[in-house]
Amino acid sequence: MIDIKREFKISIHQIMRASLVLFLLIHFNPLIIKGQAAIAIYDDQGVWEEGVMAFEQFLNWKGITHQRITAYEINTDTLTQRFKAIYFPGGNAADYQASIDSAGIEHMQQMVTNGGAYIGICAGAYFACDTVKWQGDSFDYPLNLFHGNGIGPIDRLATWPDYDMTMLSMNLNNSINRFEPTKEAMLYWGGAVFEPAPETKMDTLATYDDFNERPAMVNFDYGKGRVLLIGPHPEIEEDSDRDSTNTAKELNDLGSDWNFLWTATDWLLGNPLTHTDLSSVSNQIQNSQLILYPNPTKGILRIKLSRGYQTKRIIIFDQNGKIFRNQQLTNPIINLSSFHNGIYFIKIETTQNKTLTRILIKE
């Protein structure tokens, strides 16, 4: 005969014990019951929090899923089944080295070798180099994705620990830059110049105009995977609040660097290379002094300036750097009806500053 009360007590006990085990697994083992995301964002000892926040805002804008992870997760999980790529932000590369143990290094190397990807900005780029040469001292780093040296800071661009905007020449022979202008202004804050070893195979994305045209951004294959290393800070939007940070708000990057990151992350994740759909972002480009609208346009652009500002000159060029118009402008209406459909870049110089942005002409 079955003792119903006894069986009921056993069932309740089993349920409570299983619930306790599940609670412990969820709350004390961060590797269990985690969702998958396209990009893991390293968020642990040494990270510069604003670099994390700005990159997260960019990924949200592009619609790429992401998840913050810790050194513990990297050291105890292979990552391959959970993420397509891992991002190391600006911060302190020495802290990254101290936090990621030999198992974690092997996990990241395997992840990229097997078809994943690594993106490092500033300290995150240093961390991926064989050797870091910082202020004249050399340090051996273990991740060794980039066979060569990461050298910095470059006082000619900004005396450490200060920052400033620096001009980059974009390598238009690199497919990632197919939608880029010939020049980009980006924030420099102690980032690396990349010096490859003789046998290293890499592509240069951009060079520093004011530092002997040496590599500022590089990309290359690593096994079946891909690596993107960036010395300056394209994740920071100096004259916009959409990066959720206050870094360098007193500066002007002459247009968003997120357009570059858009195509670069396509390459990183192995997706077809695309450019920002201007019609889905905004029908006007604006800052506190200037509004340019409508964008996209069928051929007529209007410029609205704050009181006290005047337009001095406009330069319009295509993706190959070919200049179509370079003139003084006294009329707030720009007639582009003779232009073919496509993406162009317009640099507007006012009495106070300069703005560089994209325009899309389509019927």
Place of tokens 């102690």: 190
* Position 155 confidence tier, pLDDT thresholds 50, 70, 90: very high
Helix (H, G, I), strand (E, B) or coil at 77: coil
What is the distance in angstroms between the CA of the first residue and the CA of the last residue of the chain?
84
pLDDT per residue over 317-334, tens digit each? 876 678 899 988 878 888
Topology annotation, domain 278-361: Immunoglobulin-like (2.60.40)
Residue 1 has pLDDT above 50, yes or no: no
Which residue(s) pair with 85 in the sheet? 39, 117
- Percent of the chain with pLDDT strictly greater than 90: 59
Give the C-alpha separation, 291 to 149, whole Å: 43
Q: What would the pLDDT profile of 53-77 be if each residue is shown by its tens digit?
A: 999 999 999 899 999 999 999 999 9
Cα four-point dihedral sign 32, 35, 40, 42: negative
Sheet of 225-230, strands arranged across: 66-69, 39-42, 85-88, 117-121, 225-230, 215-222, 203-208, 164-170, 183-188
Which one of 12-21, 83-92, 304-313 scores highest in mean pLDDT?
A: 83-92
pLDDT at res. 235: 98
Q: For position 245, what pLDDT does the model report?
A: 95
Helix axes 258-268, 49-62, angle to 10 degrees: 80
Residue 126: predicted pLDDT: 98
What is the spatial distance between Cα 105 and Cα 336, in angstroms, rounded to a whole number? 53
Cβ neighbours of 149 (radius 10 Å)? 19
Strands 85-88, 117-121: pairing is parallel
What integer pLDDT is reported at residue 17 of this predicted model? 57
- Burial code (b: 16+ CB inside 10 Å, e: under 16) for 293-317 equals eebbbeeebebebeeeeebeebbbb
Q: At a CB cut-off of 8 Å and minimum separation 6, what does 16 contact?
A: none
**pLDDT exceeds 70 at position 3:** no
CA distances from 87 to 52, 103, 117, 349 (A): 9, 18, 9, 36
Averaged pLDDT, 13-28: 49
Cβ within 8 Å of residue 203, ≥6 positions away: 171, 174, 218, 219, 220
Is 322 exposed, middle or buried (CB count within 10 Å of its CB: 0-12, 13-18, 19+)? exposed
User: Which range, of 81-85, 236-240, 268-272, averages the lowest pLDDT?
Assistant: 236-240
Domain spans, the chain: 39-268, 278-361
Q: Look at 122 and 301; give whichever has higher pLDDT.
A: 122
**Region 193-201 average pLDDT:** 96
Kindly report which listed range (20-29, 95-104, 145-154, 258-267) carries the lowest average pLDDT score: 20-29
- Flag whether pLDDT at 185 surpasses 70: yes
Mean pLDDT of 107-117: 97
Q: Give the HSE-up count for residue 28: Cα atoms under 13 Å, Cβ half-sphere.
A: 6
HSE-up (13 A, CA, CB side) for residue 287: 22
Q: Which two tokens stand for residue 1?
A: 């005969």
The listed range with the strongest mean pLDDT (221-235, 271-285, 330-344) is 221-235
Q: How far apart are CA 293 and CA 283, in angstroms?
A: 6
User: What CA–CA distance (Å, rounded) separates 124 from 87?
Assistant: 8
- Answer for the pair 75, 104: CB distance below 8 angstroms, yes or no: yes
Position 343 scores a pLDDT of 82
For 191-209, what is the mean pLDDT?
97
For 281-340, write each residue's pLDDT tens digit.
333 344 445 677 888 888 898 887 766 667 778 888 876 678 899 988 878 888 999 999
Residue 47 is classified by DSSP as: B
pLDDT for the residue 11: 55
- Please give the torsion angle defined by the CA atoms of residues 96, 91, 194 and 354, in that order, rounded to the nearest 10 degrees: 160
Same fold, 39-268 and 278-361: no
pLDDT number for residue 290: 67
Q: What is the mean pLDDT of residues 106-120?
A: 97
Quick check: bond before 181 cis, omega within 30?
no
Per the CB < 8 A criterion, the answer to whether 256 and 242 are in contact is no
Q: Report residue 244 as tokens.
A: 């959720």
Does residue 15 sit in helix, strand or coil? helix
Question: Mean pLDDT across the stretch 172-180?
Answer: 91
**94's tokens:** 């020495």
Q: Which of 343, 354, 341 is nearest to 311 (CA)?
A: 354
Paired with 204 in beta bridges are 218
Is the pLDDT at 122 greater than 70, yes or no? yes
The CATH class of 39-268 is alpha beta
Q: What is the CA radius of gyration of the chain?
A: 24
Determine the pLDDT at residue 34.
Answer: 45
